[in-house]
Amino acid sequence: MTAPVQTLEFADAREAADLGAFLARLIHYDRAAAVRLQAGGGALAVFGRPVSFEVLAIRTARLAAPYELDVTVSAGELLESLDESAGSAVVPAAVTGPPWAGMLPPRGGWQQVAGLPGEEAIRGALAAAVAEFRARDEQLTPETRTRAERDRIGREIWSRTLGDTRLPLRAAHAAQSLGFLRPVRAMVPAAAAPEEPVALLASGNWLRLRTPYGSIAVRHAGLGRLTVTPA
């Protein structure tokens, strides 16, 4: 029997703690952030859109019982309702969803895309991009160091593609900023298999950077032909 959707019971306390960390990072970028919750069976998917990254972030959690749920709520209210010690959360009242909440990635049809660098190479590319931004920012004169010019430099750098793929570098930057890219020595999350590698998947005109800690999805108009293998 499907459980009522008033309180979510997680499979264990670590699931609630991991979800809380994800929500806190979203709120760091946008205190008014909303998240869309979708539960089916014993799994919960939480979708958010961190401001300035232009991507969708997806965090999953295992539930203690089957639930059916599809609602958009305040990320802050959901975080406040989390009881990490009890491994539960009260589902807040629904809010009017932002436009992105109606355009989620497909649930199926994902195939792996070739050309993604290894994790260390991804971290190296991110570090080089941050260093380049700082260097170019320091070269600006007081007259040219405007928000518009700094945003232009940022867009130029983070719109570059990663490795031999069409994934924008900002997707990997978002993954790192949200805690989805972690050193190998980091603790393995309860919700993910430790052997699952970082990979790039495609479905339709969506690309998804999958990590053991969460996924980052970006939508492109007319991705064209991709070299893919079964996921």
Contact 18, 59 (CB under 8 A): yes
H-state helical runs in 142-195: 147-158, 169-177
1 located within any domain: no
178 located within any domain: yes
Residues 123 and 216 in one domain: yes
Domains of the chain: total? 2
What is the pTM (predicted TM-score) of this model?
Answer: 0.86
Sheet with 34-48: strands ordered across: 34-48, 56-74, 214-219, 206-211, 199-203, 111-113, 228-230
pLDDT at 59: 97
H-state helical runs in the chain: 13-29, 75-81, 119-139, 147-158, 169-177
pLDDT at 195: 55
Residues 14 and 75 in one domain: yes
Contact 28, 89 (CB under 8 A): no
Pairing verdict, β 228-230 and 56-74: unpaired
pLDDT at 182: 79
* Residues in CB range of 189: below 8 A, 6 or more apart: 14, 18, 212, 213
pLDDT at 175: 96
Residues 217 and 152 in one domain: yes
Residues 212 and 121 in one domain: yes
Residues 117 and 224 in one domain: yes
Residues 125 and 202 in one domain: yes
Rounded to 5°, angle at Cα 177 from 164 and 32? 125
Domain that holds residue 85: 7-102
Domain endpoint, select from 78, 102, 126: 102
* Residues in CB range of 107: below 8 A, 6 or more apart: none
Q: Which of 69, 92, 45, 63 is nearest to 217 (CA)?
A: 45
pLDDT at 109: 95
Contact 22, 37 (CB under 8 A): no
- CATH number of the structural domain spanning residue 85: 3.10.150
Residue 133 sits at φ, ψ, to 5 deg, of: -60, -45
Residues 90 and 115 in one domain: no
pLDDT at 4: 53
Sheet with 7-9: strands ordered across: 7-9, 88-90, 82-83
Residues 116 and 98 in one domain: no
Provide the 10 A C-beta neighbour count for residue 144.
10
40 located within any domain: yes
Residues 158 and 215 in one domain: yes
- Render each residue's pLDDT in the chain as its tens digit; 231 residues: 555 568 999 999 999 999 999 999 999 999 999 999 999 889 999 999 998 889 999 999 999 999 999 999 999 999 999 999 999 999 999 999 899 999 999 989 999 999 999 999 999 999 999 999 999 999 999 999 999 999 999 999 999 999 999 999 999 999 999 999 976 544 444 444 445 789 999 999 999 999 999 999 999 864 443 333 333
Residues 121 and 65 in one domain: no
pLDDT at 224: 40
Residues 71 and 167 in one domain: no
Residues 80 and 125 in one domain: no
Domain endpoint, select from 75, 102, 129: 102
Domain endpoint, select from 41, 76, 102: 102
Which amino acid makes up residue 92? P
pLDDT at 220: 81
161 located within any domain: yes
135 located within any domain: yes
